Structure 1
């Protein structure tokens, strides 16, 4: 019995030595950047995604419920909601807009298909392949970067759930080059 106890004690001692000497050493906290960001896209059959400006001046997506009578919402309707500005609740949360109040609606021409010929598809004009064309009633060339981003990202996500469509903005003062949401 003594031999059994001695063997067990030797086994425990050996195990402890292995655990202590396994080579893992204490270290300081290692900074690895900001928190993980997970893109969340609302279901286009239930919500529209609008881009406003957050309290920090950076773009902030806001999902709003859709009127189920018009699902999915046309891009022009989504942009009209954007131009209507943030709701009272959104403003209370520090969300703003850099866009002018629109007195006139926007016109949207869907993206031309890349495989379309020189004249584009029927109902789709030729132009920048894969770019949606948005015409506003106000000047776009004098808008700041945040305002342009609001329009571009809202239109891009209205056309494509992942926002991968380029947008050409045209206003009373001319057009901006095709721009992607970034």
Structure 2
């Protein structure tokens, strides 16, 4: 009986020693995390850049649906085209994340503001004119603005963006995302 107990106690050790037939392998490098390009349909949505609360000031692209005005409604800017264009994207950015985006852990570094703006594409890149101060914005807030304006105006985050505000100019700078 004593021999059976000793054998019972040694059996798990023997199984551990053999490793159940699983051989050791070297570490396999698989690279960094996947990168997904997000390109909204130009007619129904726009792309905004907000800050992830779970990651140290990392910008996250957010596809936001555009609510189109009814026929004949005055939208400000250039009418219905303004709702589809870059002006609407930057205006929505200054309005901040909506409830579902906040619930998803997104925030903004930009001050909440109803801005009057103009966005042009010139030979040197995108030019954004705002009726608010810009030189005191944090680097993260600047990147939110630069990435959103570049994507909205040219669909190319690599385009240089220059922002002119009431207190000076930032840029030209490129989106770092």
**Unmatched runs of 5 consecutive residues or more in structure 1:** 1-24, 115-128
> How do residues 120-131 of structure 1 correspond to structure 2 at under 5 angstroms?
129=124, 131=125
Q: Determine whether 1:165 maps to 2:159.
A: yes
Greater share of helix: 2
Q: Determine whether 1:30 maps to 2:39.
A: no
Q: Determine whether 1:48 maps to 2:76.
A: no
Q: Determine whether 1:100 maps to 2:119.
A: no
Structure with bigger gyration radius? 1
Query: Helix, strand or coil for the counterpart of 1:99?
Result: coil
Query: Helix, strand or coil for the counterpart of 2:41?
Result: coil
TM-score (norm. length: structure 1) = 0.70
Question: How far off is 1:155 after superposition?
Answer: 0.5
Alpha-carbon separation, structure 1, partners of 2:153 and 2:60? 18
Question: How far off is 1:165 after superposition?
Answer: 2.2
> How do residues 27-176 of structure 1 correspond to structure 2 at under 5 angstroms?
27-55=25-53, 56=55, 57-68=57-68, 70=80, 73-108=84-119, 110-112=120-122, 114=123, 129=124, 131-176=125-170
Greater share of strand: 2
Gap change, CA 1:138 and 1:160, over 3 Å in 2: same
Alpha-carbon separation, structure 1, partners of 2:42 and 2:153? 10
Q: Tell which deviates more after alignment, 83-92 or 154-163.
A: 154-163
Query: Helix, strand or coil for the counterpart of 1:147?
Result: helix
Aligned residue-pair number: 141
TM-score (norm. length: structure 2) = 0.72
Query: Which consecutive segments of 4 or more residues in structure 1 shift more than 6 A?
Result: none
Alpha-carbon separation, structure 1, partners of 2:152 and 2:132? 21
Q: Is the 8 A contact 2:94 2:115 kept in 1?
A: no
**Unmatched runs of 5 consecutive residues or more in structure 2:** 1-22, 70-79
